[in-house]
Amino acid sequence: MSITDMILGLGWPLANFAIFIGVLYYFLNQPIRDYLAGRSATIRKDLVEAAELRASANAQLAAIEQKLQALPGELDALRTRGAAEIAAEEKRIAAAAAAERDRLLEQTRREIDLQVRLAKKEILEHAADLSVQLATERIKKEVTPEDQSRLVDRYLDQVKKS
């Protein structure tokens, strides 16, 4: 076998291979182009969406970081407002307690004054009763029947004159 025979022996298989490639090219050229064009468009679209998602994520991250930076200030403001509200509530409670104390003191003073007046009245009534009782006993001891008749006569004379 010589080189010429070997080259001629390779001719038919090479021709067959070239025909096979040509047929494949003829039938698969358009579908492969369509597939690659679609794949390219899908990849571009996915890249655009990824860029948009990345931009959106960056914006959200920036917003979250901004909120996190503002959080200590907001917490301080809340603490300050809470402390102010607590102080105001304490003042309101103290004022209400003072008003209630004053009201109770005034009510107690009125009740004490009333009890003092009632006690004075009872003492005066008791003193008057004792005075009347003492005077009655003295009159009974000191006034004689003669004094009684003289008093009655004097009273009758006064009634006649009036």
Q: What is the DSSP string of 7-58?
A: HHHHHHHHHHHHHHHHHHHHHHHHHHHHHHHHHHHHHHHHHHHHHHHHHHHH
**What does the DSSP 8-state code read for residue 1?**
-
Instruction: Give me the pLDDT at residue 1, please.
Output: 62
The two tokens of residue 109 are: 């003073």
Q: Note the pLDDT tens digit of each residue in 64-99.
A: 999 999 999 999 999 999 999 999 999 999 999 999
Which tokens belong to 16? 């067959």
Predicted local confidence at residue 147, as pLDDT: 80
Any idea where the domains of the chain sit in the sequence? Answer: 3-161
Between 14 and 49, the higher pLDDT residue: 49
Residues 18 and 24: their CA atoms lie apart, in Å, by: 10
Query: Rounded to two decimals, what is the model's pTM?
Result: 0.42
Please report the pLDDT score of residue 49 as a whole number: 96
